[in-house]
Amino acid sequence: MNTALAEVLSVFLLIVVLGAAVARPFGLPEAVVAVPAAAIAVATGAVSLDHARDEAELLGPVLGFLAAVLVLAKLCDDEGLFKACGAWMARASAGRPQRLLGSTFVLASGITAVLSLDATIVLLTPVVFATVARLGARPKPHVYATAHLSNTASLLLPVSNLTNLLAFTASGLTFTRFALLMAAPWAVAVAAEYVVFRRFFADDLRMATPVEETVERPRMPMFALVTVLCTLAGFVVTSALGIEPAWAALAGALVLSVRALVRRSTTPVALFHSISLPFLAFVLALGIVVRAVVDNGLADALGRVMPSGSGLLALLGVAALAALIANVINNLPAVLVLVPLAAPLGTGAVLAVLLGVNIGPNLTYAGSLATLLWRRIVHHHDHDVDLGEFTRLGLLTVPAALGSAVVALWLSLRVFGG
C-alpha cells in the first residue's frame, strides 16, 4: 500500500472507531467496530505486524492493571464502600447544597486518584444520584462534578488513569516522585474546578435542601478500606522494585475476590463480567489503529508544532496542544501519539502532556472515554445533559484548571527537579 493511501485509510479507521465509541450503534460494545478496524489496518499494511505487536506489548501491562482495578472497584462496591461514601456525603452536607458539592468534590477526587476514574464514573455517579434524591437537592452540579473530576482529579497518581500509566514509563519517574510532582497541579486544578462550579451553578446551589430524616453515621466497610490502602502502598513498593503496578492491583483484587467467593457474596461469573473484556479489547484495538495513524504521518506533523524547552511558556504550549488533540481524537489516542514526541524533551514535557489530555477532555463529550461512559450513566438515570451547557462549563473550567496546573507543575519541577 502506498503512503498516501495508507494515511487516508488509517485516518478513516480512527474516525470510524471513535465515532462508533461515541454513538454506540444498536448499543453494541465499542470493540465490535474497533477490533475489525485494527485487523484491517494490519491486513492492509497500514500498520506493520511488528508495530502492532509492539503496541500490544506496550499496552499489555496497562490492560492488566485496568482489569484488576475494575474487579477491585466492583468488589469494594459490593462490600458497601460506595454506599458508605454516599451516607457520609449526606451527613456531611447537613442539608446544604454548597456543602454537598464540597463533599462530592472530596470523594470524587479521592476515589479517582486511588481507584481510577472508572470507579468514579461507574460506581460513584449512581451513588451521587441517590444521595441528591434523598436530600431533595438539584442533581446537576453534583453529577457534573463526577464527570469533570474523573478527568481532572486523575492527575495525582500513575494508577489514576490509563493515560497516566501509558506515560509513566516514558517519564522515567518512580511512583512516589510522579505523585510528588503532580500533587500541586492536581490540587490547584481541582480547586479551580470547584471555584468555577460554585459560580456556574450558583442558582442550583442556593436551593434549600429539606432533610426530613436523620442521616445515620455511615458504617465504613473496614476490610475493603484496608485492602484498598494496602493496594495503594503496594503500588509504591512495586514501583521502587521495578515491578509493574498491575501486580499490586491484582493482589488487592484477589484478596477481596477470595473473601467474596468464600462468603458467597459474588460468583466467578460476576467476577469475570467485572473485568469488562470488550472494553479491554477496544483499548488494545484503538492503540493499534492509532499506531497506524502515527506511522503514516501524524507523528511528523505534530513533531513540527510541538513546543520545545522546559520553560513555563513551553509547558503551556505542550499542555494546550495536548488538550486540543485530546478533544479532536480522544485523550487515549492523544497520549499514545504525544508521549513519544514529548519524552525526548524531558520529564516536564511528558507531565505537561498529561495535564492536557486529562484536563482538556472536560471541554467536549468526545474528549475522553470516561465522559462518554458518564453520559450513558446519566441518561440511564433519566437525567438530561445539555450539550451547550456542558460546553459552556468546559470553556470556563478547562482554561482555569489547565493554566493553573501548568504553573504549579513548572514550580514543582523547579523545587523538586525533573
φ, ψ of residue 97 to 5 degrees: the values are -60, -35
Please enumerate in sequence order all residues whose Cβ is within 8 A of that of 356, keeping only pairs 6 or more positions apart, or say none.
318, 319, 320, 321, 322, 323, 324, 325, 326, 334, 402
Using CA atoms, how far residue 323 sits from 47, 318, 331, 357, in Å, is 26, 9, 8, 5
Q: How confident is the model at residue 379 (pLDDT cuts 50, 70, 90)?
A: confident
> What pLDDT does residue 188 have?
97
Average the pLDDT over each of 19-28, 40-49, 351-360 and give the range with the smallest value.
19-28
pTM above 0.85, yes or no: no
Return the residue matching grid coordinates 455511615.
218
286-302: pLDDT as tens digits: 889 988 988 887 777 88
Mean pLDDT for the stretch of residues 156-172: 85
Q: How confident is the model at residue 218 (pLDDT cuts 50, 70, 90)?
A: low
> What pLDDT does residue 418 have?
64
What amino acid occupies position 8? V
**CA nearest 131: which of 185, 96, 189, 86?**
86
- How far is C-alpha 205 from the geometric centre of its chain's CA atoms? 27
- Which of 273 and 408 is assigned the larger pLDDT? 408
Q: Where are the alpha helices (DSSP H) in 201-295?
A: 202-206, 222-240, 246-262, 268-274, 277-293
- Which of 181 and 70 is assigned the larger pLDDT? 181
Mean pLDDT for the stretch of residues 221-235: 88
pLDDT for residue 280 is more than 60: yes
Mean pLDDT for the stretch of residues 56-60: 85
> What pLDDT does residue 43 have?
92
For the chain, the maximum distance between any two Cα atoms, rounded to a whole number of angstroms, is: 70
pLDDT for residue 214 is more than 60: no
Average the pLDDT over each of 40-54, 336-350, 365-379 and give the range with the smallest value.
365-379
Mean pLDDT for the stretch of residues 31-48: 92
Measured between alpha carbons, how far is 319 from 205 in angstroms, rounded to an integer? Answer: 32
Please enumerate in sequence order all residues whose Cβ is within 8 A of that of 315, keeping only pairs 6 or more positions apart, or say none.
348, 349, 352, 406, 409, 410
> What pLDDT does residue 301 have?
80
Mean pLDDT for the stretch of residues 219-240: 86
Q: What is the DSSP letter of 215?
A: P
306-364: pLDDT as tens digits: 888 778 999 999 999 999 999 888 888 888 889 988 989 889 999 999 999 999 999 98
**Packing angle of the helix pair 31-43, 49-79 (nearest 10 deg):** 160
What element of type H or E holds 145? helix 140-152
Mean pLDDT for the stretch of residues 14-38: 84
Q: How confident is the model at residue 2 (pLDDT cuts 50, 70, 90)?
A: low
Which range of 53-57, 89-93, 213-217, 251-255 scores highest in mean pLDDT? It is 251-255
**CA nearest 64: which of 251, 332, 330?**
251
> What pLDDT does residue 209 have?
52
- Are the CB atoms for 10 and 47 separated by under 8 Å? yes
- How far is C-alpha 1 from the geometric centre of its chain's CA atoms? 36
Mean pLDDT for the stretch of residues 41-61: 89
Please enumerate in sequence order all residues whose Cβ is within 8 A of that of 319, keeping only pairs 6 or more positions apart, or say none.
352, 353, 355, 356, 359, 360, 402, 405, 406
> What pLDDT does residue 40 have?
95
What amino acid occupies position 398? V
> What pLDDT does residue 27 have?
74
Q: Which three cell numbers stand for residue 318?
A: 505542550
**Hey, which bits of 138-214 come out as E strands?**
none
Measured between alpha carbons, how far is 53 from 45 in angstroms, rounded to an integer? Answer: 13
Average the pLDDT over each of 102-106, 199-203, 370-374, 413-417 and give the range with the smallest value.
370-374
Q: What's the angle, vertex CA 152, arms to CA 148 and CA 158, rounded to 5?
A: 135
> What pLDDT does residue 245 have?
81
- Which of 15 and 404 is assigned the larger pLDDT? 404
- Mean of pLDDT over the chain: 87
pLDDT for residue 203 is more than 70: yes
Measured between alpha carbons, how far is 254 from 17 in angstroms, rounded to an integer? Answer: 33
Residues comprising the chain, all counted? 418
> What pLDDT does residue 76 have?
87
Q: What is the DSSP letter of 144?
A: H
